[in-house]
Amino acid sequence: MVNLSTNLSGLILTNPVIAASGTFGFGKEFSSLFDINILGSFCTKGMTYSPRLGNPQPRIAECKAGMLNSIGLTNNGAKHIAEHEFLAIKNYFNKPVIANVCGFSAEEYIKNAIIADESPAVGLIELNVSCPNVKQGGISFGTQTTVLFKLVNAVKKAIKKPLYVKLSPNVTDIKPLAKASEEAGADGLSLINTLLGARIDINTRKFILANKYGGYSGKGIFPVAVRMVNEVYNSVKIPIIGMGGISTAADVLEMMIAGATAVQVGTANLIDPFACKKIIEKLPILCKKLGIKTLSEIVGSAR
Amino acid sequence: MKKTLLTIKSTLKLTDDVFKTILEGDVGTLKAGQFIDIKIEGFTLRRPISICDFDKNSITIVYKTIGEGTLALSNLPNGQRLDVLTGLGNGFDSTKIPANTKISLVGGGLGVPPLYCLAKHLKGQNINFDVILGFNSDKEIILLNDFNALGINTVVTTADGSYGMKGFVTAVDNKDKYVFACGPMPMLKAVYKVSNGGQFSFEARMACGFGVCQGCTIQTTQGFLRVCADGPVFTKEQIIW
């Protein structure tokens, strides 16, 4: 038997595979296809205080090795989510979920984080300071160390559950932002969010996304994510949830060897709704083949 | 929703860039107005395509090769197996038709295929209706023979007047009728304005096709709804125009 369990600041996962925010809804659609209790956990769609329809359409563009999205945090608002979506989770998932929390001001982040903190469904809070698709808020908090420090510090003081900060790759150097989060009291980090990209129709010369630019995700960003997770692993002591283009069990191991304590699978869920299930079923087989008895021992073992 | 492997039985060219492909296999439970989402080798995202016809073991799709993905699909050989999500979306609901109301099926261009499926379904329930199909020109007419074969009174309009009535589908009087419409947005809006209630099938760019990415979410009278999972068919009361 391979031990696949992992520990995120006291939240014990039976395996390191977490479905990523924005690619798994609140889990309900997937629960009609397979028993999602096999997941380590899943991360819920980013929530803002007020409901948001999001950006104009089209907000999806295909790429050779992934896709662009400019959804813009479409959600029903934190209160509605806590009273409806979070409450319903227990009907099909019996482990704590990770709540992705967004905001347009420090006050809003705190308000939303408290709502998530008070929800029994939530075991960990992921602070989204890296959404590339909203003009104010979000990423403006995730690109300046002093602003990020203040925000993380304030949110951490307001909640009891572990706080993970989801960082953007769209910066010159991610390490100072990781360190600022750690110093401000973050229990862990999530990285990477999407890379900013664009697609243009050569016939019409129009941008495919109504918003012109959007977040690039999928297989193509995997090497970038591995590098950034490793850079951050070497500069902080808190655990990292690694993500970016993971689509196979081998990708999970590679990301963990780079320094991730757990991983998130995102775009792969949109292409194959059984992606997480296949990865989780393959993990012990691959570990056995590689002589790995305790998966958590490989974290950060890259030489 | 069901994930299944379907085999290409045949692909037939209907016009310069419109193809009809029959897929065979365990198709699951289907309804007129639903769609399927096909994984095509070499492309990241699945291709959502409306169901034109189905039976217990097959699905017929009619699609335009507007991009590289649909072009690749049209070139795949018979016997090729495809990874398909079937039974997506809500579909048309004939139980919502009010009593003593005349019914029209209004389709424009590539909005016509799902209405063929609906026509067959309504006919099976002995519900009477008219069909109005709009195309740009006679060269783009699809499925007219299939509607005629069902014995349905079908009116065709062409924008350039090369076949049937000259003009758009709105050249036909749909006032006070309950409509089932599928076609380009401007057509849907025009039909919506004159109709006395009805169901309108939308199109949107999607990533997942089953309700989780929020790529296709629209504002409705019932809040945010996803074209892929809560639609693609919306009632006149739900739509904000």
Report ipTM (2 d.p.): 0.93
Check CB contact under 8 Å for A60 and B215: yes
Would you give per-residue pLDDT tens digits along chain A (303 residues)? 899 999 999 999 999 999 999 999 999 999 999 999 999 999 999 999 999 999 999 999 999 999 999 999 999 999 999 999 999 999 999 999 999 999 999 999 999 999 999 999 999 999 999 887 776 666 778 899 999 999 999 999 999 999 999 999 999 999 999 999 999 999 999 999 999 999 999 999 999 999 999 999 999 999 999 999 999 999 999 999 999 999 999 999 999 999 999 999 999 999 999 999 999 999 999 999 999 999 999 999 999
User: pTM here?
Assistant: 0.95
| CA–CA dist B155, B48 (Å, integer) | 28
Assess whether pLDDT exceeds 90 at residue B173.
no
Measured between CB atoms, which of B69, B205, B211 is closest to A25? B211
Write the CA distances from A110 to A11, A151, B190, B225, integer angstroms: 21, 8, 46, 28
Q: How many CB pairs under 8 A join A and B?
A: 91
Residues of B within 8 A of A60 (CB-CB) are: 45, 205-207, 213, 215-216
Residues of B within 8 A of A63 (CB-CB) are: 44
Residue ranges, CATH 2.40.30.10, chain B: 2-88
**Greatest C-alpha distance within chain A:** 57
CA B89 to the chain's CA centroid:
12
Supply the DSSP string of A135-150, one letter for each residue.
SSSGGGGSS-HHHHHH
**Homologous superfamily of B203-241 in CATH?**
Dihydroorotate dehydrogenase, electron transfer subunit (2.10.240.10)
Residue with tokens 């099926």: B105
Active-site annotation holder among A43, A102, A131, A287 = A131
Asked if residue A211 lies in contact with residue A70, where contact means CB atoms within 8 angstroms, the answer is: yes
What kind of architecture, by CATH, is found in domain B2-88? Beta Barrel (2.40)
Interface test with A, best of B90, B202, B213 (most A CBs within 10 A): B213
| CA–CA dist B146, B159 (Å, integer) | 21
What kind of architecture, by CATH, is found in domain B94-201? 3-Layer(aba) Sandwich (3.40)
Return the percentage of chain A with pLDDT > 70, whole number. Answer: 99
Residue ranges, CATH 3.40.50.80, chain B: 94-201
Write the CA distances from B74 to A262, B183, B203, integer angstroms: 41, 21, 20
Check CB contact under 8 Å for B45 and A67: yes
Structure confidence by residue, pLDDT tens digits, A90-144: 999 999 999 999 999 999 999 999 999 999 999 999 999 988 777 666 677 889 9
Residue ranges, CATH 2.10.240.10, chain B: 203-241
